Chain A
Amino acid sequence: DAGVIQSPRHEVTEMGQEVTLRCKPISGHNSLFWYRQTMMRGLELLIYFNNNVPIDDSGMPEDRFSAKMPNASFSTLKIQPSEPRDSAVYFCASSLMSRGTQYFGPGTRLTVL
């Protein structure tokens, strides 16, 4: 299996622009997680889905962030409008069960100027 796939790997944008990050989980996995990693705060869970349904979005920082999972093989994390403080590495992970081993994608390094 190719593992969890994320795109783009790097994104540089200007403040105010819309940013869309994409994730393809491992086939057959029914749980998907979006994380953000910064030097100051480490790894933080933003949102997770179980069977394509958002279960816990309490980590989403504010209304500028939204996530969707239209089907079992695709999820997006959107930031609109982006701000410099959103600069971070965003990881997507999937697991077979909601409390199982999580497999991480390579991450998207976002820089907002």
Chain B
Amino acid sequence: KNEVEQSPQNLTAQEGEFITINCSYSVGISALHWLQQHPGGGIVSLFMLSSGKKKHGRLIATINIQEKHSSLHITASHPRDSAVYICAGHEETSGSRLTFGEGTQLTVNP
């Protein structure tokens, strides 16, 4: 059982829809990252957060440390948002080691 679990594994949406990707973790996390991996393979860090909420453009990330849960929201989705979204947590006890979720494949159709 993975210590970081994402849902859904695959998500297809129509352009303009509001999208939510969830991440739950079973270990103590001091901070959580949301990463985006485009079809070409490049990985970009979207957010790093340890509490509350962060917003960047149409992307919003929230985290509830007590409930061990984080969500990534995309408002007014666009086909260029199509990518794999990966959450990863810094475990409290293991320094800089990141534990990765399996990723959510998002496809936004025009």
Contact = CB atoms under 8 A, between A and B. Distances in A.
Contact of A102 (B33, B42, B94, B102): B33
Contact of A106 (B31, B41, B45, B102): B41
Interface string B90-110: 100011111011110000000
Contacts of A107: 41-43
A101 interface: yes
A99 B30 contact: yes
Contacts of B30: 99
A56 B96 contact: yes
Contacts of A104: 35, 42-45
B61 interface: no
Contact of A101 (B41, B48, B103): B48
Interface residue tally on A, bucketed by range: 20 to 34
Nearest to B88: A43
Interface residues of B, number: 22
Contact of B96 (A42, A44, A50, A103): A50
Interface string B66-98: 000000000000000000001010100011111
Given A45-B98, A101-B48, A89 B86 contact: no
B45 A101 contact: yes
A34 interface: no
Nearest to B100: A43
15 contacts: A42-B100, A42-B103, A45-B97, A56-B94, A91-B43, A93-B43, A98-B96, A99-B30, A100-B48, A101-B45, A101-B48, A103-B45, A104-B35, A104-B43, A107-B43
Please list the 4 inter-chain residue pairs (A to B) with the smallest Cβ-Cβ separation, ordered nearest first.
A104-B43, A98-B96, A43-B100, A101-B48
